[in-house]
A and B are shown apart, each in its own frame.
Chain A
């Protein structure tokens, strides 16, 4: 088991947001967490990556307990998150932002491999290639989202957690993005995906968990979830035309 979350509880002050959830992610899988706004999806990811303290419960990454580890340590062990809302270094150029993402690999002397990955990433996001020497803060919202993704990918994470990666991206890009996720999975990266475009997420994932008010309402393989009438109704919209 790559990621194992057991009976996790998280709160803000007196308000409990995550009320004892358990789930896991196996190596080489794409797992998606669905749920409406306020269900606790982002909080779950933030807690796993060490940005928020767990109230109780246990989080293990590759068998190692990381429940109380610092965010930097967790990221260093290969568990990387792309946060909702970009969070780039606005005064640095796009290229510098990407190099910061590769910081650990560059320090380990993998500059040739980093360069190759960089080329591949820029291939994937041609819009960024045009702006590689511009300050990240001057990019449009969607372009910043692409840079944030590229910055996470270039660190070659073992497990990549994505919080709403499609946010603000044009439809044509959303498609290529999800194709990229599939390619990443095939190249050995494990993905944990929080996404409001549930249909998109379900089209590429292996398994899904559905959160509701801080608890796991249902879970199962992609097919099981797609057959689940309640989920279809609530998260996929009624006008299904796919």
Chain B
């Protein structure tokens, strides 16, 4: 039996036991505890999506949960004035929906300003938010009831049938199962890939056109919705709400549960919440040293299992990414289908005679240091333009200027005759500019094919809706993207590494993977920053062929490279710069004879080419 099947079995058996629990448990105490576990898990799952998968730490989730709880309590109580609604029992359900929505809105209000900062700063902002909400709950007595809170929150009902603890148990169970499914759907979709891509490298994510800031805001709102829904469930279980339940410590509890269970794993939040909620109950015998035992237990577990409990069962490198049917790779297939597709802007643009890229008088200085001075050049469609020069001459600065990472001090950049204003990092990709990085920036331990799939960002028609509910359209799109990404990988010669985690690839292969990802953007213009570094000569030959076929497709290529074999074999035009100034331009043959180039760059002896 495979690990996957074993997992399914364990899941089914566990679910069956939970479904049967109310029938076999004496009294309601244990059910009560389990309901709490389910409700907290909904909140923790939301936090796991944000923190575990998205890498954004929030220490204000208890406050978001409070928004859901208070809103639902107030709305459902307020609706009690209408006898019709009360008779149907709808007031509670409406309250829950309202609670979820209000928490999301507050999530958005919190996210828009605070996600401009990151890391510890974001955590600080969320702590402050938590304090403010908690204080408001305490002080705004006329609405929130102050310290005493809101009492007589209505119980959930269907018609006149009151859902007492054993029945509410099933509501909570259904809620947590739903939350688990939504979490899985989100994570194993395009949305989840983007989310993790942003976590691993914001720069690389932006380079394929992902709007990093909005992506972070979006996930924060989703996470807040989970917290609000959990809060609403909580209000109607407890039948009263007061600020005590939503103190700062509760926010820490949720983050701890996620870390303990395994941040960035699907089962992690559930395991974490279950252990951290039930353990104190089981430790009753220890009486006074109970909390010490509890603390030490958590400490030791996190020390022994740094990836949390669920981290032990994580999929191993080399295993198949979930959700894709992977058949053996057909080695004979090498046509660059995805690049040559009809919707490829590079092929569509028939303006063979007008330049793709025109740069005039481009200048950039850092402090007093001129990195690039008055630089001009053009790239025609299907042309390879190489820029070479000694280390520190300004080559990478040029690429950074053209792809929107730096703002030029002076000069104009035109693409297809239109002046280019690159307002943000991700805007360049939308204009058909794609690049690779000199210091490789891939998305950590995501599989290689997933790395490439992130590159399709701009060409995706999948909506968040499709991801959340796994619509047929969404699934078709996924399979299509997977096939496309796979053929791009075959195109760059990585066909055997489709499921290898990106960080397990060797250095040279990581470079090729970056090229595949850059091609997924379907660029008109491709900037390659030292693509041959770390490749052996056989692989450089492959790279040569690769660039040649990209050129045939009409893509304009800017090549920064030290490997002169490659540069002279593939370039139409070479510009040599030193100290930010152009010292020579021309075709490969004339450049290799140029005295200044030999002196500054190639070296005088030619015994090693």
Contact = CB atoms under 8 A, between A and B. Distances in A.
B603 A37 contact: no
Contacts of A164: 507, 533-534
B538 A172 contact: no
B392 A235 contact: no
A168 B531 CA distance: 10
B317 A15 contact: yes
Interface in B528-543: 530, 533-541
Interface string B507-540: 1110000000000000000000010011111111
Nearest to B567: A171
Contacts of A12: 317, 504
Contact of B537 (A131, A143, A236, A241): A236
B250 to A, nearest CB: 37
Contacts of B608: 175, 199-200, 203, 242
A170 B562 contact: yes
Given A13-B316, A15-B318, A237-B538, A169 B396 contact: no
A240 to B, nearest CB: 9
B354 interface: no
Given A84-B507, A85-B439, A196-B535, A127 B318 contact: no
Contacts of A236: 537
Contact of A196 (B394, B504, B508, B602): B508
Interface in B377-425: 388-397
B564 A171 contact: yes
A164 B440 CA distance: 15
Nearest to A141: B438
A12 B534 CA distance: 21
Contacts of B389: 170
B600 interface: yes
A47 to B, nearest CB: 15
Q: Which of A36, A37, A145, A241 is packed against the most chain B CB atoms within 10 Å?
A: A37
Main secondary structure of the interface of B (DSSP, over half): loop
Nearest to B562: A170
A174 B438 CA distance: 18
A145 to B, nearest CB: 8
Nearest to B395: A140
Interface string B303-336: 0000000000000111000000000000000000
A200 B392 CA distance: 23
B565 interface: yes
B609 A242 contact: yes
Contacts of A171: 562, 564, 601-603
A141 B533 CA distance: 12
A169 to B, nearest CB: 6
A42 B504 CA distance: 12
A124 interface: no
B366 interface: yes
Contacts of A84: 507, 534
B281 interface: no
Interface string A170-212: 1111111000000000000000000010111001000000000
B318 to A, nearest CB: 6
Contacts of B562: 142, 168-171, 174
A146 interface: yes
B160 interface: no
A167 interface: yes
Contacts of B605: 175
Interface string B585-609: 0000000000000001111010111
A145 B534 CA distance: 13
Contacts of A239: 565
27 contacts: A13-B318, A14-B316, A35-B536, A36-B539, A37-B506, A38-B506, A38-B508, A127-B391, A138-B366, A140-B394, A140-B396, A142-B390, A142-B562, A143-B392, A164-B533, A167-B534, A170-B390, A170-B391, A171-B562, A171-B564, A172-B390, A172-B602, A174-B562, A175-B603, A175-B608, A203-B608, A242-B609
Interface of A: 12-15, 35-39, 42, 84-86, 127, 131, 138-143, 145-146, 164, 167-176, 196, 198-200, 203, 234-237, 239, 241-242
The 3 closest A-B pairs by CB, nearest first: A142-B391, A237-B537, A37-B508
